[in-house]
Amino acid sequence: MGKLIVNYSPHILHTDTTQGIMLDVIIALVPVSAFGIALFGPYVAAVIAVCIVAAVLSEYLFCKIAKQPNTISNLSAVVTGLLLALNLPPTFPLWMAAIGSAFAIIVVKQMFGGIGQNFANPAITARIMLTVSFPEAMTAWREPFAWLNKTADTVTTATPLSGGDFTPMRLILGQHGGCIGETCAIAIIIGGIYLLIRKVINPIIPFTYIATVGILAVAFGENPFIWIFTGGLLIGAFFMATDYVTSPTTRKGQLVFALGCGIITALIRKFGSYPEGVSFSILLMNILVPHINSLTKNKPFAWEKANHGKKN
């Protein structure tokens, strides 16, 4: 008889893997990407492709140079690249997009130890880096469907958050200016529902985040509809704030985290000099996650009666 395999129990595992989860996120982002391309033209496809390729290539090269096991097969770099692309304006220069992707992967993720170790969401942080570095390119909004009309190619428009008159229907269908993946609420919600059904995310973070922003909009005398359906809130709440690595692990912690995101977003939108606050609020709350985690620990079952730590 040959050598038997010996390992600790359990000896069966659930079929979900890291790769499978990442694939689910990519699938959930397909409608958003498709709408982005439809609204803003084929150039958007190039932005998405460049972001993904740059992200995967950065991770591959970093692992190679740092002599680490290669991790690109877990697809997390694809997710980061795709999310970053969806957070860029439709006319964004490709070389800037590539820099953003490389920054997200190398500086924000790999330098902190790779997947699972980064304290901030790579796509969010890269978006903020690009906003600060290339403010003009990052605010070059475009009228939807302008690409179909060659003469209007240079038309720029404002996001509804900077003011303007928008009907609810236009907002939901994404017929307004904004980042590639931010405008079409319906597509984002479809992706979010897919993630909820697949149990990749739980509803606490997105629902708390969106509800907090909505309630504060009313409190501040703003139109909650515009606050919820424009800007990066929906995509941020469903796809960025729910990033496992940079959000708390307990339900209590997730509630605190999402409340914090909502409050900071609303404050920036109302009082800040930027029209948008989703990226900053998620990044700020990312930084607080270790503290939230240690303050929202679960109590073990039957903990109250236990005299833990005294004997044994």
Partner 1 sequence: MSAPDNILRPVRKNTGKLRLVHHKNTAESETVKMPAPSKVVIPMLQHIGRPCSPIVKPGDRVAVGTKIGDSSEPNSVPVHSSVSGTVSKITTIRHSNGNTCEAVVIESDGLMTEDIFLSPVKVETAEDLVNAARESGLVGLGGAGFPTHSKLDIPKGKAVDTLIINGAECEPYITSDYRECMEHPEDILQGTNLVKSVLNIKRAIIAIEDNKPKAIKYLKQVSYELHLDKEIEIMKLDSRYPQGAEKVLIYSVTGRKLPINQLPSDIGCLVMNISTVSNLYRYIKTGMPLVSRRITVEGDCINKPMNVEVPIGALIRDVAEFCGGYKSEPGKILMGGPMMGVAQISDEAPVIKQNNAILILSIEAGTLPPATPCIRCGRCVEICPVYLMPVAIETAMRNPDREKLLSLGANYCIECGCCAYVCPARRPLVQVMRQAKERSIKS
d(C-alpha 233, C-alpha 278), whole Å = 6
Binding footprint of partner 1 on the chain (CB under 8 A)? 1-2, 4-14, 16-18, 20-21, 71, 74, 76, 114-117, 244-245, 248-250, 293, 297-303, 305-309, 311-312
150 vs 311, which CB is nearer to partner 1?
311
For residue 114, the minimal CB distance to partner 1 (Å) is 6
Mapped to the 3 state alphabet, what secondary structure does 28-74 carry? HHHHHHHHHHHHHCCHHHHHHHHHHHHHHHHHHHHHHHCCCCCCHHH
For residue 200, the minimal CB distance to partner 1 (Å) is 9
The count of C-alpha atoms lying within 13 angstroms of the C-alpha of 84, restricted to the half-sphere facing its C-beta, is 38
DSSP SS3 for 156: strand
The residue among 22, 38, 133 whose CA lies nearest residue 90 is: 38
20 vs 275, which CB is nearer to partner 1?
20
Task: Identify any residues that bridge with 142 across adjacent strands, giving them in sequence order.
Answer: 156
For residue 12, the minimal CB distance to partner 1 (Å) is 4
**Cis preceding linkage at 135, omega within 30:** no
119 vs 166, which CB is nearer to partner 1?
119
Residue 50 carries which side chain, given as an amino acid letter?
V
Long-range contacts of 127-134 (CB under 8 A, 24+ apart): 127/84, 127/87, 127/88, 127/100, 127/279, 128/279, 128/280, 128/283, 129/100, 129/103, 130/88, 130/96, 130/99, 130/100, 131/279, 134/96
For residue 127, the minimal CB distance to partner 1 (Å) is 21
168 vs 203, which CB is nearer to partner 1?
203
For residue 74, the minimal CB distance to partner 1 (Å) is 7
d(C-alpha 312, C-alpha 50), whole Å = 59
150 vs 310, which CB is nearer to partner 1?
310
For residue 19, the minimal CB distance to partner 1 (Å) is 8
7 vs 154, which CB is nearer to partner 1?
7
73 vs 167, which CB is nearer to partner 1?
73
The residue among 263, 262, 250, 259 whose CA lies nearest residue 290 is: 250
The residue among 165, 148, 144 whose CA lies nearest residue 156 is: 144
121 vs 131, which CB is nearer to partner 1?
121
For residue 112, the minimal CB distance to partner 1 (Å) is 12
For residue 46, the minimal CB distance to partner 1 (Å) is 30
- The pair of structure tokens assigned to 125 is 């942080």
